[in-house]
Amino acid sequence: MFNLQLSSNKQAINYDELYDFIALGLGPAGLNAGLYAERKGLKTLVVGQSLGGQLGNTAEVENYLGFPHINAQKLIAEFKNHIDELGVTLLTNVIITKIEKNDSTFIISLNNGKKLHAKTVLYALGGNPRKLGVPGEDRLAGKGVSYCVTCDGPFYKGKDVVVAGGGNSAIDAARDLARIANSVTVIQRSVLRADKKSVDKLLNQPNVKVLLQTQIIEILGKERVTGVRVFDKSATAERVFKTDGLFIEIGNTPNTSLLENLVDLNESGEVIVNDKQQTSLGGLFAAGDITANSHRQIIIAAAEGAKAALEAANYINN
């Protein structure tokens, strides 16, 4: 009996076949890698859980070349249209559970009990939201503590919210919330690191205030979030801010647990790659937010995916 399955875009997936290139991750890095690998004539498969990856947690994108202002879901749809037009095979709604290499072949285990085989692999599984690590965070998760403005922001229409963080994701989240919330307070333990244009747009919102040199030390509330306790470094004093919700936007923890015994990682758990996106294991490439690249941008992740696919083709040919 043939070990076949139809992919999410109606392409046949043969679990007994040896693929030239498998991209793990359905974000910009994995999708663009699939596009470039397919164009190079490689037998290609892109695998992951949800189309768009972390891009799906964003509302608007303003810095992707060719799309000055575009809804994130629309951009994901454009990616999907391009992938489908070229006939790239996608396997969605699966979780990668193990990666191993046997001689020159990679074996990828999935949570559906199946295994995939490939000559080369791109690892682009992004990360998970980084936590503040303060009292009340785990207990009130989903009860006013959120890591996704796109998912939970609409529940706070007309309410008061706090955003923790000072990078691009935090500022973008605050701008999104400012359109629907009564007030938005951005709390950052140091200084704002986001793009100046984004910060300027945020500060032009009349219902937004920013507290710098201020650290959240506790999340308050019994059944739901009612406030946050902060330490004001300038005044060297603690204060309590009442809030209906807290959105934590302080970056991601790289999803690299599957690689711990396979490739070299840095102290933060990020994959160390060279200028060709190669890891320390031959044939295994990495791209996007799980690498040591310090610039967490959609267009950079997509570019790294393209580079990895081209280098994978060279690896196979050589």
Choose the catalytic residue: 84, 152, 195, 232.
152
Spell out a b/e string for 129-156, using b for 16 or more CB atoms within 10 Å of the CB, else e.
beebebebbeebeeebbbbbbbebbeeb
Q: Is 289 a catalytic residue?
A: no
Choose the catalytic residue: 16, 20, 103, 151.
151
Q: Rounded to an integer, what distance in angstroms lies between the CA atom of residue 307 and that of residue 318?
A: 16
CA distance from start to end of the chain: 34
Q: Is 138 a catalytic residue?
A: no
Cα dihedral 32, 38, 42, 44 sign: positive
The full length of the chain comes to 318
Q: Is 152 a catalytic residue?
A: yes
Choose the catalytic residue: 148, 160, 195, 232.
148
- Strands annotated E in 41-158: 44-47, 60-61, 70-71, 89-91, 96-102, 105-110, 115-123, 127-129, 145-146
Q: Rounded to an integer, what distance in angstroms lies between the CA atom of residue 42 and that of residue 21?
A: 7
Give catalytic residue positions: 148, 151-152
